[in-house]
Amino acid sequence: MEQQTAILRMLMRNSRMSYAEVARELGCSRAHAREQVQRLVEDGVIEQFTVVLNPDKLGRTVSAFLDVEVAPKGLEAAAEELAATDEVVSLYIMSDMRSLHIHTLTADNAGLDRFIREHLLGRDHIVRLDCKLLMERVKHRRGGPRL
């Protein structure tokens, strides 16, 4: 288990790390490193290898967090509709089964306003909306949970 944790930490830092680099850090053969990574993939521990984009470099500088209360009968439909938009980075259905927690990225405040007006305001199933803008990132995790 300790070796798997070490591999996961390495790949979370750099998912493009070669098997040779993983093996070098672990002090094992390239074949063994490959076998361990493949096992993590097959067991579903690693769901996918991906790229982390810098939203500022893409011109998406407004980061907002929205807590949206939805009438229970409209929860899943609202979640699906919102998840399909370009502005939504992440979306979670919360345990009360009537709240959505949404992270959006837009180019500017006008883009956020447009998103809110088009997708949230005036919708019958939307009961309440709370929007907060990100001021500063103090701690930011990438690649899922920390080990």
**pLDDT (tens digit, 9 = 90+) per residue, 6-56?**
999 999 889 999 999 999 999 999 999 999 999 999 999 999 888 777 777
Euclidean distance between CA atoms 88 and 63, whole angstroms: 10
DSSP 33-67: HHHHHHHHHHTTSS--------GGGGT--EEEEEE
For 147, the token pair is 């080990």
Report pLDDT digits (tens) over 90-103.
999 999 999 999 99
Give the C-alpha separation, 39 to 124, whole Å. 47
**Phi, psi of 145, rounded to the nearest 5 degrees:** -65, 150
Round to whole Å and give the CA distance between 91 and 83: 7
Percent of the chain having pLDDT more than 90?
76
